[in-house]
Amino acid sequence: MKWLLITLACIQLSECLLRVPLLKGKSGYDILSEKGLLEDFLKNHKPDPCAKFNVPSCPQSLAANEPMINYMDLSYFGTISIGTPPQSFTVIFDTGSSNLWVPSIYCSETACTKHHRFNPKKSSTYYTNNQPVSIQYGTGAMRGILGYDTVKVSDIVIQKQEFGLSTSEPGGFFSYVAFDGILGMGYQSLSAAGATTVFHNMMSEHLVQKPLFSVYLTRQNGASGSEIVFGGIDHSHYTGQIHWVPVTYEAYWQILIDKVTIDGRVVACSGGCPAIVDTGTSLLVGPSSDIANIQQGIGATASFFGQVNPWYSINCDNLQNMPNVVFTLNGVDFPLSPEAYTLKSTFYGMTSCSSGFGGSGGGLWILGDIFIGEYYSIFDHGNNRVGLAKAV
C-alpha cells in the first residue's frame, strides 16, 4: 500500500489525481471514494493540471494574447488599463527597457497633453511614496514619480503594480508618437529606480503559464495581426524549427552575433559582437562603420551627405537584384531579404524606398523591428534565451 500512502500524502489533492493513474491499481477517484474523501475533495478542490504541468490538451487560453497596432511598420503598441475604474493607455511593449510609465495629469507639456494622461485622483486603488524616476531612451526621455495601482494587460490583472507617472518628457520626441507610454519587457536589472517590472510580477504571482513571452510583428505598412503572447507561443505565426540563442547578459535581451555576411563575404561582426533583440527600435542598428559596409554591399545610396549617419535610399525597382544580408546567431543563419530590410513609403501616390539599416555610435547592435518582423521571437525568462523562427 506504499503507493496509496504517497497519494494521500500529496500536498495538493489535485496533484494526487494526476499521479495515481500512472500506477497500477485503482484510480484516484476510486480511492478517495472508498476512503470517504471524494465529496470533500469535489467541494473544496478545483484541480487545474494545466497551471502546474505541461499537459498537451490544456487550452491555449492559459496564455494571454494581446493584439498590437502596426503603425506604418515603425512602432507597435497595444492597450492596457491602469486604476480603478480602469483608465486606458496605448503602450509599446519594449524589450529594450524595463519600466512601465504613462503620461500623467502632472505633466502639461505638449508631449503629455497630446496623449491620454493618468489621473491618480480618479483611481481608488492608487497610492504613491513620490519616489522620483528618470529614464533616457535612444530617442526621448521621461521624468516623473513612481506610483502603484492595478494594471490590466490582456486578461491578466496585476495588483499594486509599480509604474511611472511622467511629469516631464524632455526633448519633445514623444510629442510625435502615436502611443501614450511604454511598457518595458527587459530584465529587472535594467529597471530605472528599481521598479518591479510587469512581467516579473506576472511570473512571481503565477499569472502566466510559462515564464516567457513571444512577439509577432506584421510588416507591409500597417498590416493587422501583430501580437504579443504572455506565457506562451502562438505556433500559427511561424514555420520550421525554433532556434534558441542564449542570453549573454541579463539586462537587455542581449545575445551574440557570430558574423554578418553578404554573398558569403563577412561585412561586419567578424569574430562576434553583442546585440540586443529590441521590439522598441524600428530599424536594425549597428556601429556606423559596419552599417556603412552593409549599405555599400546592398547598393544603398546616401541621401544626405556630410552627416555622420546619412539616410540611405534604395531603388524600389531594383529589389530583385539586391542580395540577402545574413546574420549568423549561435551557428544558425538568419537571412534578411531585400523586401525585409527595405522600408517603403508612399506620398501623393509615389513610392520611395530606403534602407532599414541605421548607424549608431554605440557598441551594441540592435536587432529591431526590421529583424523581428522576419523572425518570430520568443523571450524565455525561464531559460535565459531567445527563440527565433521564420515568421509567417
Q: Which of 180, 258, 278, 369 is catalytic?
A: 278
Helix, strand, coil percent values for the chain (each to nearest 5): 25, 40, 35
Indicate if 94 belongs to the active site.
yes
In whole angstroms, what is the distance from residue 91 CA to residue 81 CA? 10
In whole angstroms, what is the distance from residue 198 CA to residue 78 CA? 15
* Grid cell digits, residue 266: 563577412
Q: Cis peptide leading into 85, omega within 30 of 0?
A: yes
Count, in order, helices (H) and strands (E) of the chain: 10, 27
Q: Are 87 and 108 in contact (CB under 8 A)?
A: no
Angle (CA) 361 332 323, round 5°:
65
In whole angstroms, what is the distance from residue 376 CA to residue 242 CA? 9
- Report in angstroms the alpha-carbon separations of 182 from 38, 175, 279, 318, 331: 49, 14, 11, 37, 33
Q: Which of 73, 94, 180, 369 is catalytic?
A: 94
Residue 182: beta bridge partners?
A: 92, 101
* Grid cell digits, residue 254: 542581449
* Grid cell digits, residue 260: 554578418
Cα 82 from chain centroid (whole Å): 19
In whole angstroms, what is the distance from residue 243 CA to residue 247 CA? 13
Indicate if 333 belongs to the active site.
no
Q: Locate cell 542598428: which residue?
A: 285
In whole angstroms, what is the distance from residue 174 CA to residue 225 CA? 25
Return the active site residues.
94, 278
